[in-house]
Amino acid sequence: MDDKAADGRKTRTKIVKIGDRRFLTRGLDTPILGDFYHRAMTVSWPVFFSAFALAFLAMNAIFALIYRLGAAPIANARPGSLSDLFFFSIETLATVGYGDMHPQTLYGHSVATAEIFTGMSGIAVVTGLVFSRFSRPRARLIFARHPIVGPHNGRTCLMLRMANARHNLISEATAKLWVLLEEEFVEGGRFRRFHELTLERSQNPVFALSWTLFHAIDENSLLHGLGPAELEQADASFIVTFSGLDENSGQRVNARQGYGYQDLRWGHTYADVLDATDDGVPKIDYTKFHDTIPTERAE
């Protein structure tokens, strides 16, 4: 949507979603084609193919109109038939060339040459974009719906569970946990700042099944002395980031997940997902992955 700045210039207002938070940005003028590659890589598949289909039809309609400017440039095309020229354009742009219709004048050959060059260039661009979208390395991780604050090994900890849904080997896995707080400075003004929370174990040599992150809430923790009310007042958000080497593709994969202060469950522990069959084979029950169990609230 558009509005006007203080100096009367028209400026664009846009809603940006980062994690679970929404921000309103104003004053950035981004042309539609100014960041074409980024847009092509980030839109959904339905939007991507719909845009490609519309561009394909529009391009053929334009060339059909260009053919119409010539004097009978296409053999076997019905006089005045725009549909014949349109479908001949599709055959030419796609380099199919059925042969029923073909250029028969210098003008027709010239336009067909330009169209074939345009079609080959467009196919190369779309093929590259489709390959890039398919080949992007991604980790398929499951993050628990709720981080929890509860007892662990005699201490009060902030805990977050995640799992590798592919069960492939991710080596040199690294996780970081951040909290975003709204703070008021001495000089005045309020700012939102990221603070990294120290994890009990931030690296995993081989991540294949599940992994629970632990941050001890002790006197050295930024969260020490903060309860639900204080986190709400600070409008706290939590972000976990993950990075590792996918041994199947040989590429690094990344993932992240965001939570709001309202997602925390206090005085809970995660349900145990590890069990064993009758013959002693370890079994992981992912139906309990998001379940939490209330405990005596840790102080």
Nearest to 240 by CA among 135, 145, 137: 145
- Spatial neighbors of 68 by CB under 8 A, at least 6 apart, are 82, 85
pLDDT tens digits for range 221-230: 999 888 899 8
Report pLDDT for 16: 65
How many whole angstroms separate alpha carbon 78 and alpha carbon 152?
Answer: 81
Please check whether residue 133 is in contact with residue 41, taking contact to mean a CB–CB distance below 8 angstroms: yes
Residues 6 or more apart whose Cβ sits within 8 Å of residue 65: 82, 85
Map out the domains of the chain as residue ranges: 1-30, 34-134, 141-294
CB atoms inside a 10 Å sphere around CB 6: 6
Q: What is the pLDDT of residues 253-270, one digit of tens each?
A: 999 999 999 999 999 999
At residue 32, the pLDDT reads 60
Placement of tokens 């992240």 in the chain = 256
pLDDT digits (tens, 9 = 90+) for 266-296: 999 999 888 877 787 878 888 899 999 998 6
Could you tell me the pLDDT band of residue 90, with boundaries at 50, 70 and 90?
Answer: very high
> How many other CB atoms are there within 10 angstroms of residue 184's CB atom?
10
The predicted-structure confidence for 167-202, as pLDDT tens digits, reads as follows 888 999 999 999 998 877 766 667 788 889 999 999
Q: Residue 166 — pLDDT band, cuts 50, 70, 90? A: confident
Rounded Cα gap, residues 200 and 203, in angstroms:
9
In Å, how far are 65, 79, 110 from 62, measured between CA atoms?
A: 5, 18, 15
Average confidence (pLDDT) over 40-60: 91
pLDDT in tens, 9-45: 556 676 666 656 676 777 666 666 667 788 888 888 8
Q: Could you tell me if 92 and 151 are in contact, meaning their C-beta atoms sit under 8 angstroms apart?
A: no
Alpha carbon separation from 87 to 21, 62, 97, 176 (Å, rounded): 48, 12, 11, 56
**Measuring CA to CA, which residue among 210, 197, 213, 198 is closest to residue 160?**
213
Strands 210-216 and 155-164, sheet pairing: antiparallel
Residue 297 CA to residue 159 CA, distance in Å, equals: 14
Please name the CATH architecture into which domain 34-134 falls. Orthogonal Bundle (1.10)
Mean local confidence (pLDDT), 135-158: 89
Residue 298's pLDDT band (cuts 50, 70, 90): very low
- At the fourth CATH level, which superfamily is domain 141-294? G protein-activated inward rectifier potassium channel 1 (2.60.40.1400)
- Contacts of residue 115, Cβ cutoff 8 Å, sequence gap at least 6: 63, 89, 92, 93
Strand partners, 211: 162
Report pLDDT for 299: 42
